[in-house]
Amino acid sequence: MITRLAIAPVWSTDQDRSLKFYTEKLGFEKVSDLTMGEGGMRWVTVCVPGKPETQLTLMDVHSGGGLDPDSAEALTALVDKGVLGAMVLGTDDCRATYEELRKRGVEFVQEPVERPYGTEAILRDDSGNWFSLTEAHVDLDTEQDWA
């Protein structure tokens, strides 16, 4: 039985730059930064402070995930273009977090707006992935009619 989400990938076009972005701008903590075997893939993970049970792995588009060169190039183009949505980042106060992150230099493609499920802003990371920054006004663990 699956009991939780442990690690989710976020595609990175530069792991050093991404690690700096996630730790310094978003305030995540570094959990791991190691190489898998000699000449192997670099494994970099971060988490929300104090929440290591759910991590993001900053997966290099060129050496991670076993992609062939053509697929890595296509994926890089999609990430750079900003068409890949990664996930939802939860917050207790979307507007305050938006202001805090904007002051740290985080790029937002949408200011906070009211949605049927809560207040949401959309940000992009250093590689181009977009994230929803959401302050939920409904219980996301129960079925809802958001129409």
* Percent residues over pLDDT 90 in the chain: 71
Position 112 scores a pLDDT of: 98
pLDDT in tens, 67-88: 888 998 999 999 888 888 879 9
Position 85 scores a pLDDT of: 80
What lies within 8 Å, CB to CB, of 80 at 6+ separation is 13, 127, 128
Q: What is the mean pLDDT of residues 45-55?
A: 96
* pTM score of the predicted model: 0.88
Domains and CATH numbers, the chain: 7-136 (3.10.180.10)
pLDDT in tens, 122-146: 999 999 999 999 999 876 566 555 5
